[in-house]
Chain A
Amino acid sequence: MNELVIHTDLARAILTGFIRSEITRVGYQRAVIGLSGGVDSALSCYLAAEALGPENVLAVRMPYQSSSPDSLQHAQWVIDALGVQSLTVPITEMVDPLFERFPTISPTRRGNVMARARMIILYDQSEEFQGLVVGTGNKTEILLGYSTLFGDSACALNPLGDLYKTQVRQLARAMGVAEAIVAKPPSADLWVGQTDEGELGFTYDDVDRLLYLLVDQRYSPEECVEAGFAEKFVSVVAHKVKRNHFKRIMPPIAKLSNRTIGYDFLYLRDWGT
């Protein structure tokens, strides 16, 4: 039995209900999604279109000059299949002046700048379209910290954050996302030839099974090794999970008073709704 298999109808019902509830309860009807052409944003877009109606979803394509033409094409497939509203805003003119100012800028810095430029566009469209930004980060990348803080991780709500990458693929297939999108090697597409698995050094299939044991089943690293995972792989992944925890929480506030936000001023975001 593969523990990562999910009942897709059940997940779909809960996630579309979540999107509808969390957007409408604060007085909105619409969603804005950055559509990269990858499976995560495709699935978020399918879920949002089902939850809100395609006319209430704005899919934004934000290519850089080096972005793969396939990415743009795959994003267009999603837009056409769903009939959502769409917009293309290239980021080249936004980010190149900064890159020119720092000629030795590293690929990591360039990637972060691009991710944050896209965040600016999405939040600007959020105001213009009067829709909330729906996130696309999955559980695997959130746990590994494989995202840019205040960049691609920025959103108003995240329907995919409790689905591992392999579960995202499963639900995407069930909802009818094109197989070429689901099956292609995942990539942040921040530079030519970049792939997630190349950069991370392991496959999503392997790391999802390991994270499932470490996180969901509360195995110790030693128990994961006993279960058949290579010691080095387990230690690298466990370290990444710990090292990147700062990306998963709000910045800590230094406590001075008797009542401090985050410690003893505790309300859900849905307070009063």
Chain B
Amino acid sequence: MKTMKLKLGLAQINTRLGDVQANLEKHFDFIEQARGQGADLLIFPELSLTGYVLQDLATTVAHRPEPDDPVFAQLLKASQEIDLVVGFVEEDRRRRFYIAAAYLAQGEVKHVHHKVYLPTYGLFDEGRFFAWGDSVQAFDTRFGRLGMLICEDFWHASPPYLLWLDGAEMLLFTSASPGRGVNEQPQLESARWVEHINRAYASLFTTFVVHSNRVGYEDGLNFWGGSTVFDPNGELLAKAPYQHEALTVCEVDLNQLHRTRARLPLLRDERTTLVLREMERIMGNVRSTVR
């Protein structure tokens, strides 16, 4: 079998709240560094072009992932040399605002994901400011079929499961995760939780799981970084530092999918028809009690 290696870059950046131009310049800094290290794909965190707690800024920092958009024109040009995942606010044709991630390659927008789960509880208020995405789809790239999810999307089990069934061989997770839960452990509770589930997804779906998380502060919130890459065996391949900006480059051997799935055919044996049948029963028969 031909060797299939992919050099991933995790762009664990801090952002300037609501200043797209300043954040775009930082993207180009990291793109240049990543190219210098031979990366094929560079993944920026959630809302990497805008910052996270946007509130009323949400509608003023939006862009369209199209060649005639001044920001995306420059990013698309850069994607001639290196594939990119960037986070931004998208304003659609009907003037709805989404938290979005775009996959750019060879000067084209290959895929855009709109965040489907907007946390609106505790310290989060996304549902107040953004529209809910309505689709979870894998997409083809020169490195195989990938899937993208944004933060709360992968706190729910169903979006990664759907991407797995849709053929994603690598899950690209982006987030701007506010750190919380300082107790006697050396890690934040939120960091431990995310690392547990990312390792679990990699193991359960025998797939690569790549997580790019941001750092920095917005008012009293800290973003903890600690971006990771797990392989289809659930092994940690790379981890960025906590709390600090970093470019982490990690070479992954895509043939690991072949080896792991030969050993552990969880995908082959997944009973999707059974799942669908039971979902229909659950949704149909007990609609009054289960939503």
Chain A positions near chain B (C-beta within 8 angstroms) = 1, 3, 5-7, 9-11, 13-14, 17-18, 21-22, 162, 264-273
List chain B residues, Cβ under 8 A from A264. 56
CB <8 Å contact, A270 and B17: yes
Question: A9 CA to B184 CA in the complex, in Å?
Answer: 10
Q: What is the minimal beta-carbon distance from A19 to any residue of chain B, in angstroms? A: 10
CB <8 Å contact, B186 and A9: yes
Q: Does B250 contact A (CB under 8 A)?
A: no
CB <8 Å contact, B182 and A14: yes
List chain B residues, Cβ under 8 A from A272. 16-19
With contacts A14-B243, A18-B222 taken as known, whether A270 is within 8 angstroms of B186 at the C-beta atoms is no
Proximity string of chain B (17-45) to chain A, C-beta cutoff 8 Å, 1 when within and 0 when not = 11100000000000000000000000000
Q: Does B218 contact A (CB under 8 A)?
A: yes
Task: Count residues on chain B whose CB falls below 8 Å from chain A CBs.
Answer: 24
Question: B51: nearest residue on chain A (CB-CB)?
Answer: A270
Q: Does B53 contact A (CB under 8 A)?
A: yes
Question: A18 CA to B219 CA in the complex, in Å?
Answer: 8
Q: Does B109 contact A (CB under 8 A)?
A: no
With contacts A9-B186, A21-B216, A269-B219 taken as known, whether A14 is within 8 angstroms of B55 at the C-beta atoms is no
List 9 A-B pairs, Cβ < 8 Å: A1-B184, A3-B183, A5-B184, A17-B243, A266-B55, A267-B57, A270-B217, A271-B17, A272-B18
CB <8 Å contact, A268 and B55: yes
Question: A212 CA to B184 CA in the complex, in Å?
Answer: 15
Q: Does B179 contact A (CB under 8 A)?
A: yes
Apart from A266-B56, A268-B55: 17 A-B pairs, beta carbons within 8 A: A5-B184, A7-B183, A10-B185, A10-B186, A14-B222, A17-B243, A18-B217, A18-B220, A18-B222, A22-B217, A267-B56, A268-B218, A270-B219, A271-B17, A271-B18, A272-B18, A273-B16
Q: Does B187 contact A (CB under 8 A)?
A: yes
Q: What is the minimal beta-carbon distance from A50 to any residue of chain B, in angstroms? A: 14
List chain B residues, Cβ under 8 A from A17. 217, 222, 243
Q: Does B188 contact A (CB under 8 A)?
A: yes
List chain B residues, Cβ under 8 A from A270. 17, 217-219
CB <8 Å contact, A7 and B185: yes
CB <8 Å contact, A273 and B216: no
Question: A124 CA to B235 CA in the complex, in Å?
Answer: 56
CB <8 Å contact, A7 and B217: no
Question: A265 CA to B16 CA in the complex, in Å?
Answer: 20
| Number of A-B residue pairs having CB atoms within 8 Å of each other in the complex | 63
List chain B residues, Cβ under 8 A from A9. 186
Q: What is the minimal beta-carbon distance from A211 to any residue of chain B, in angstroms? A: 16
Question: A14 CA to B186 CA in the complex, in Å?
Answer: 12
CB <8 Å contact, A10 and B182: yes
Proximity string of chain B (209-226) to chain A, C-beta cutoff 8 Å, 1 when within and 0 when not = 000000011111010000
Question: A13 CA to B225 CA in the complex, in Å?
Answer: 13
List chain A residues, Cβ under 8 A from B19. 272-273
- The 10 A-B pairs at the shortest CB distance, nearest first, are namely A266-B55, A21-B217, A5-B184, A268-B219, A266-B56, A270-B17, A270-B218, A268-B53, A6-B182, A14-B222
CB <8 Å contact, B222 and A267: no
Interface centre among A6, A13, A162, A271 (most CB of B within 10 A): A271
List chain B residues, Cβ under 8 A from A268. 17, 53, 55, 218-219
CB <8 Å contact, A6 and B186: no
Q: What is the minimal beta-carbon distance from A31 to any residue of chain B, in angstroms? A: 16
Contact for A6 among B16, B55, B56, B183, CB less than 8 A: B183
Question: A271 CA to B51 CA in the complex, in Å?
Answer: 10
List chain A residues, Cβ under 8 A from B53. 268
Proximity string of chain B (138-181) to chain A, C-beta cutoff 8 Å, 1 when within and 0 when not = 00000000000000000000000000000000000000000100
Q: What is the minimal beta-carbon distance from A184 to any residue of chain B, in angstroms? A: 26
Question: A13: nearest residue on chain B (CB-CB)?
Answer: B243
Of residues 231 to 248 in B, which have CB atoms within 8 Å of A's CB atoms? 242-243
List chain B residues, Cβ under 8 A from A3. 183
Question: A140 CA to B216 CA in the complex, in Å?
Answer: 27
List chain B residues, Cβ under 8 A from A10. 182, 185-188
List chain A residues, Cβ under 8 A from B17. 268, 270-273
Q: What is the minimal beta-carbon distance from A27 to any residue of chain B, in angstroms? A: 13
Q: What is the minimal beta-carbon distance from B235 to any residue of chain A, in angstroms? A: 25
Question: B216: nearest residue on chain A (CB-CB)?
Answer: A21
Question: A22 CA to B218 CA in the complex, in Å?
Answer: 8
Q: What is the minimal beta-carbon distance from B278 to any residue of chain A, in angstroms? A: 34
CB <8 Å contact, A265 and B183: no
Question: A170 CA to B218 CA in the complex, in Å?
Answer: 26
Question: A137 CA to B19 CA in the complex, in Å?
Answer: 32
List chain A residues, Cβ under 8 A from B186. 7, 9-10
Question: A128 CA to B18 CA in the complex, in Å?
Answer: 31
Q: What is the minimal beta-carbon distance from A260 to any residue of chain B, in angstroms? A: 12
